[in-house]
Amino acid sequence: MRTLEQLWQRGAEFLGCPIAIMGGAMSWVSERHLVAALSNAGAFGVLAASSMSPELLAKEIAATQALTKKPFGVNLILMHPQLEQLVETCLAAKITHVVLAGGIPKSATINRLHEGGAKVIGFAPTLGIGKKLVKMGIDALVIEGTEAGGHIGPVSTSVLAQEVLPNIHDVPVFVAGGIGRGETIVSYLEMGAAGVQLGTRFVCATECIAHPKFKKAFINASAREATASVQYHPDFPVIPVRAIGNKATDEFMRFQKDTVEKVFGGTLSREEGQLAIEHFWAGSLRRAVIEGDVESGSLMAGQSVGMVNSEQSISEILAELTAQAQSYLDQA
């Protein structure tokens, strides 16, 4: 019988830590304290660069390095206007792993990170894109299903895993989206995953700086309350956002309607309208996470939020997940 350590050995060796669990990069949440806590506890923290400037990212990396000597990664958004400078910031700080999110990266970006000594992780929403990224030289993949929180794709984690895991073996593949218990971690490892990525499960960690009201909303929510946003008009595409329903969810629909009407009325250009819709959630998330405005702020959460029942330390959460996983293996 294989042990948990044997099942995720490839992922653990790739990440350079004993527990092959990556922390999902959550804007305003995955900052120095949560990232360092994950890495210090044996998992792999990932810093969310989000819309940070290169200067701010450099400070956040340094602050994280002051809290942990263990490896951690940085998540960069490909559409960031200063992506090249952010890459150089990561390399100057000797970051070992860089996660490129929000699209297909350019070969030049991957090559530059390799030249600087970093391993590159990319997101594969389909098998085809996964194969493309492997050919481009990506070092590892994350496949994230629609059950995840924040911006999501259209395919469930279980279907993505069935499509990708039997067909991509050249690089480690980490599974994400809707994972809240150790038994599920084992199931994906047995299918061929090298490890997993969790975000929602760590929001209510004691080390997480999220506002107490934000954490309370997670603890009180059920899985069905974490719903995906709806696109109002077919001519104005929206990348769905999964969040716990509140006034912000309703306001987004009204905002889309008003914006579309302004475009068709000639008071706003199509480009300005599309940009306004895309930027709706940015400030809304900060209001909820940092200021505790859980009514009009965005409560981005995955459907695993129903398994978040209390505030626990990162060590306690990881111990619970690994115990569940090992118990499941022992009963097999």
> How far apart are the C-alpha atoms of 3 and 222, rounded to whole Å?
32
According to DSSP, the residues that pair with 144 across neighbouring strands are 176
Neighbouring C-beta atoms of residue 249, cutoff 10 Å: 17
What pLDDT is recorded for position 232?
87
Determine the angle formed by the axes of helices 314-331 and 182-191, rounding to 10 degrees. 60
What pLDDT is recorded for position 20?
98
Dihedral of the CA atoms 265, 266, 269, 270 (nearest 10)?
40
> How far apart are the C-alpha atoms of 27 and 285, rounded to whole Å?
8
> How far apart are the C-alpha atoms of 127 and 160, rounded to whole Å?
8
Which regions of the chain are under pLDDT 70?
Answer: none
Structure tokens at 137: 């030289």
What residue segments make up the domains of the chain, in order of their start? 4-209+309-331, 222-300
What pLDDT is recorded for position 240?
87
Neighbouring C-beta atoms of residue 153, cutoff 10 Å: 18
* Region of residue 156 (phi > 0: left; psi between -120 and 50: alpha; otherwise: beta): beta
Spelled out in words, what is the top-level CATH class assigned to the domain 4-209+309-331? alpha beta
| Closest CA relative to residue 213, chosen from 106, 289, 302 | 289
Do strands 241-244 and 226-228 pair parallel, antiparallel, or not at all (unpaired)?
antiparallel
Confidence (pTM) = 0.94
Q: How distant is the alpha carbon of residue 285 from its chain centre? A: 14
Residue with tokens 């050995």: 9
What pLDDT is recorded for position 275?
80
What pLDDT is recorded for position 242?
94
